[in-house]
A and B are shown apart, each in its own frame.
Chain A
């Protein structure tokens, strides 16, 4: 609204101009004449300004007619994949707990493709406000049947009318959501006439106010007119909404626990390092470890370990990450493997850095630890120039053809088997890499292996394998 309370005009929560890709008109929305989305947008914009939360509002736009909401709302915006608005809203709210997150969806998005996301966000009681526009039809794609289409309603895909035997009943989302324990506020409203619009304005504001007060999950279903989809004039479509939709989808409040609801901001699970270390049983083990790396000079390590399932590839990768954590470095580890528990191919991506890591993927490794032939063939070409390749020469007969990388041939399987622990061959690969590059002293790997193996005898064998490998590499 303008700052003058005597004037009702375009809200400041909207951009002055609606500049859209490929469209010259910057003064109107893309909505059809008489569309309910525009009316609801205005109510949301008004509430955002009334509550003074424009600077911390993040609107999640769906796929559907309202896909372009980010062109209109002068707030934070994320436009997401079809049906996933509540899932993205969950992530946004949890990582920015002080923000006001609005998940805006239509009936195809929320009640068809995104049914799982909305049900589980509601069931977790995420602190967000959901606006669900139900117009009983797919608008954007040309008037096909929606999950909320009424029995007998003719659409592009139900030309003889929706039949229960074939397409089932219209789905009632407010009723479904209000069967869950967590939501604090569930209400269905309508935009079909003046009294209902007045009510909707108040409910929109209440649903946002709930979030401002940290009350939890608020869900507002808005019965709305789609004149283009229904093939009627805007005024007639609103009459149809009243005569038909109001009977099938009762206008009412299904739940209002806002008076008693406690603040429900989800804690940021990663913020308490102590708790995380304790949960991983690492807390008491960090005490006597003395980091040896000069963090300011640490060069990023992007490692791929690859071999066949059963060689201990994934566990060796995570051992490297644990070692990095002991050193106080940033690290990520992600596995990539088939469904087989033994056999099949297996590889993992490990990153270690002195800076925060954006993506855990290692697409161009500077280190490749190849435990079998196919792994070397597959990944040799993606190793960075001047990188390092550790070749398990017990299994791989082939030589590395590249001349711009440093290669170490080490009989990893042989050494591990000779010293009694074939399963340690990938840890042996790790030892070879550390001994060759010295990015972290190989003795520190001994420490981590010793700590992580409960059987002392096994730990001792592992340590002798690490030492033997280090010796072997030192001689190359």
Chain B
């Protein structure tokens, strides 16, 4: 799926997420939620609701895993 680069978004790599949900607690726009599904390791990984991300990066700095979250800010 081609992404619109003018819209900020967050990407969560399912198998790198450990389901701690610190990102969900930290997100100021409340656009992340537990997926209700389990990844390879058995964690209830977080997922992006699909809209409303402002690209602030707060979830990125709340997540303990180096590569689980990627945030695409709005391109200037």
How long is the Cα–Cα vector from A162 to B67 in the complex, in angstroms? 38
Q: Which of A36, A41, A45, A194 has most B Cβ within 10 Å?
A: A194
> What residues of B have a CB within 8 angstroms of the CB of A9 in the complex?
67, 70-71
Across the interface, name the chain B residue whose C-beta is closest to A200: B61
Q: How far is the CA of A41 from the CA of B63 in the complex (A)?
A: 11
Q: How far is the CB of B73 from chain A (nearest CB, A)?
A: 5
Partner of A27 from B16, B70, B74 at Cβ < 8 Å? B16
Q: A residues 23-75 with Cβ under 8 Å of B?
A: 25, 27-29, 31-39, 41-43, 45, 72
**B70:A31 contact, CB within 8 angstroms:** no
- Given A8-B73, A238-B22, decide whether A27 and B63 contact each other with a Cβ distance below 8 A: no
Q: Is the CB of A33 within 8 A of B18?
A: yes
Contacts of B75 in A (CB 8 A): 6
Per-residue contact bits, chain A 180-203, to B (CB 8 Å; 1 contact, 0 not): 000000000000011001100100
By the criterion CB–CB under 8 Å, are A38 and B63 in contact?
yes
Using known A-B contacts A7-B72, A7-B73, A43-B61, determine if residue A33 contacts B19 with beta carbons closer than 8 Å.
yes
Cβ B66 vs Cβ A11 within 8 A: yes
Compute how far the CA of A39 lies from the CA of B60 in the bound complex, rounded to whole angstroms: 9
Is A10 an interface residue when CB atoms closer than 8 A count as contact?
A: yes
Interface SS of B by simple majority: loop
CA distance A28 to B61 in the complex (A): 16
B51 at the interface (CB under 8 A from A): no
Verify if A227 is at the interface (C-beta below 8 Å from B).
Answer: yes
Q: Is A27 in contact with B67, judged by CB distance below 8 angstroms?
A: yes
Taken together as a complex, chains A and B put the C-alpha atoms of A31 and B18 apart, in Å, by: 9
A114 interfacial contact with B, CB 8 Å = no
Residues on B with C-beta less than 8 A from A27 are: 13, 15-16, 67
Q: How far does the alpha carbon of A34 sit from the alpha carbon of B42 in the complex, in Å?
A: 15
Q: Could you say which residues of chain B place their CB within 8 Å of the CB of A37?
A: 64
Range class of the B interface residue count: 20 to 34
Q: Is the CB of A7 within 8 A of B21?
A: no
* Residue in B25, B65, B71 whose beta carbon sits within 8 Å of that of A38 in the complex: B65
* Bound Cα distance A35, B20 (Å): 9
Q: Is A14 an interface residue (CB 8 A)?
A: yes
A307 within 8 A of B: no
Residues of B within 8 Å of A235, CB to CB, are 20-22, 25
Complex Cα distance, B73 from A302, in Å, reads: 65
Residue A411, interface by CB 8 Å: no
For residue B65, which residues in chain A have a CB less than 8 angstroms away from its CB? 28-29, 38
Residues of B within 8 A of A193 (CB): 26
Report how far A169 CA is from B12 CA in the complex, Å. 42
B60 CB to closest chain A CB, in angstroms?
4
* Residue numbers in B under 8 Å from A25 (CB-CB): 41
B11–chain A nearest beta-carbon distance, Å: 9
| A29 near B64: Cβ-Cβ < 8 Å | yes
A29→B66 contact, CB < 8 A: yes
Q: Chain B contacts of A41 at CB under 8 A?
A: 64, 66
Q: Are B72 and A34 in contact (CB under 8 A)?
A: no
Complex-state Cα separation, A42 to B57, whole angstroms: 13
Complexed CA–CA distance, A170 and B21 (Å) = 30
Residue of B nearest to A197 (CB): B61
Q: Judge if A108 is at the interface, Cβ distance under 8 Å.
A: no
Q: When A28-B16, A33-B43, A234-B22 are in contact, do A7 and B63 touch as well, CB less than 8 Å?
A: no
Docked-complex contact B64 and A194, CB < 8 angstroms: no
What is the CA–CA distance of A6 and B9 in the complex, to the nearest angstrom?
11
Contact residues in B for A36 (Cβ distance below 8 Å):
64
B37: shortest Cβ distance to chain A, in Å?
16
Docked-complex contact A234 and B21, CB < 8 angstroms: yes
CB pair B76 A201 closer than 8 Å: no
Distance between Cα atoms of A271 and B30 in the complex (Å): 59
Q: Which residue of A lies closest to B59 (CB)?
A: A8
Confirm or deny: B62 has a beta carbon within 8 angstroms of a beta carbon on chain A: yes
Please give the residue numbers on chain A whose beta carbons come within 8 Å of chain B beta carbons, in ascending order: 5-11, 14, 25, 27-29, 31-39, 41-43, 45, 72, 193-194, 197-198, 201, 227, 233-235, 238
Known: A7-B73, A235-B25. 15 other contacts (CB 8 A): A7-B71, A8-B57, A8-B73, A25-B41, A27-B15, A27-B16, A28-B15, A31-B64, A33-B20, A33-B64, A34-B21, A39-B62, A42-B60, A194-B62, A197-B61
**7 contacting pairs across A/B (C-beta < 8 A):** A5-B73, A6-B72, A7-B70, A7-B73, A29-B64, A42-B63, A43-B61
